[in-house]
Each structure stands twice: as structure tokens, then as C-alpha cells.
Structure 1
């Protein structure tokens, strides 16, 4: 692979894998169907219960009004609860419901099963290459997540 095409090819490969995983899981998951941004917000709230909308927007690189819209949708579906922040009565803290935790747990299990099944189809050299790339991909994600 030429150095000048590497960034584009890497980004395309990562997006392709993520898109296909999401599509396969979406088909298998029970209704209601959740979009990628909804799943990302649920994951964040389950991992950081009590996070505020503005902090969630910063973490997800989304506008605050976009996160508010997602919160409203997920709350209507029974996955999120808004609680008033005791330190600032104007602010809301987001809490996952048991349904959200169960849905995300099922999604994570199905994702692991899907990736396990598909990586089992690869040869040993490809598996070793993918395993060796994980630390570098995590550092890349950390770099991308840093504020400029």
C-alpha cells in the first residue's frame, strides 16, 4: 500500500467494518430499531450514568440540540430518564433505564458473537495482524478524540 493512499484506505476499511457490523446487528435486534447515534448515546450514558447533555454532546462531537433530540427519542422508548441536577436545577442528568442496560448488553453480546464468527473465518496470519493492530488503533482513536 502506498503511503499517500494509506490514510484513505484505512479510514474506508474502518468505516466499512463499522457500517457492516451495525447493519447486521440492526437486522437481528428486536424493535424498536436504534440508529447509530442513539446507540452511541446509550453506550455513553450506560458507561457514565448522570452525564449531562452538554457533556454528552462534547463526547459524541454532536450539537447540544441534536443530543437533546436523541434524549427525547430514547426517553419516549423507555431507555433514558432525565433527572434534575441537584447542583444546577436548570441542568439535566441522563440515567439509563434497566431496559437500556439490557438492550446494550444484548447488543454487545451479539456484536461480539458476530465478530467472533467472522474472524474465525480468517487465517492465522490475518488474526495475528488484526490483534497486533489493536493497540495502534486505540492510540489513533485517542488522538482523534483529543481537542485541537
Structure 2
């Protein structure tokens, strides 16, 4: 083996991995959309709603940081979701200029229904794998979590 072969393997693995992740996410979204008649939400809108449901009272600036989006992009998403009665804004009592975000009951039900459909879909797919493949998938979860954490950390800010 030459010195460049492991690097070439890492690049090929990373390329196939990222291609598979994008493809899997697209296929999951497509299958879940087929199972509902509700007006479609864009991916960023769903991400924001899920984040607000997990952290009620989140500020727009905090949501922007967590989603790695510009503040004005999140403000646009907030306005869209408020107009659809899926999100509500409250003034922050500590700072009247800031808004605190809360999911509406309609949004909570919609996201919970989506989560149930996603769990069922992925549960069926995973259950259909041979036992060794399920074990391999479970064994890969810690590495996948590390990949996700690595993507959350902005370049140049890696822990030292």
C-alpha cells in the first residue's frame, strides 16, 4: 500500500457517505410527503419548528445560531410560519426588542404526526434488514453522532 491509498479510501468513503445521506434524506422526505395531504413545509421550516418544540421560548438569534442560518433568514422563516399559524412570537419580558418563539398546537400535532410517520417508515426499513446489517447500523451510530457534531463545529473552532 502506498502512502496515498488510505487517503484515497477516506475520500471515497466520505464521498459515498455524503451521497448516501443526501439520498436517504430526500427519499424519506418524499415518502413522508406521499402520506399526507397537508400543505408542504420546506425543510428549513420543519427544522425551525422542531427546534422550537424542543426549546420553547427560544429567541430568533438563538435559533439562527443553532440552525447555522443568518438571522434575517430565520426571521423570514418565522414570518412564514406565523402567517400559517404554526408559530407564535411573544415579546421577551427581559428585552422587548427580542421575540420568543413558541410552536402552536397545530404545529405540534403536525410535527408529532410527521415524527410518528418517520419512525414507522424507518422502523419498517430497519426491521427488514438482516440481523447482521441491523447490528452494523447500530454499531455505526456513535461514529454518525461524531460526524454530526463535527458538522456543528464551525471550521477553525475545533476543540483543542
- For Structure 1 versus Structure 2, the TM-score category normalised by the shorter chain is over 0.9
What are the superposed Cα offsets for residues 103-134 of structure 1, whole Å, 9 maximum, x if unpaired? 11101000000001112222112111111111
Tell me which of the two structures has the higher relative contact order, counting C-alpha pairs closer than 8 angstroms and 6 or more residues apart.
1
Shift of 1:94: 0.4
Q: Once the two structures are superposed, what CA deviation does each residue of 1:88-113 show, in whole Å capped at 9, x if it has no partner?
A: 10110101111111111101000000
Structure label with greater radius of gyration? 2
Indicate yes or no: 2:88 matched with 1:81. yes
TM-score by length of 1: 0.94
Select the residue among 65, 69, 75 that pairs with 1:68. Answer: 75
Aligned partner of 1:50 in structure 2 is: 57
Gaps of 5+ in 1: none
Q: 5 Å matches for 1:115-130? A: 115-130=122-137
Q: Does 1:19 align with 2:34?
A: no
Structure 1 residue ranges (4+ consecutive) displaced by more than 6 angstroms after TM superposition: none
SS of the aligned residue for 2:62 comes to helix
CA distance in structure 2 between the partners assigned to 1:110 and 1:56 by the alignment:
25
- The alignment's TM-score, normalised by the length of structure 2, stands at 0.87
Q: What's the Cα RMSD here? A: 1.4
Cα separation, 2, equivalents of 1:46 and 1:26:
21
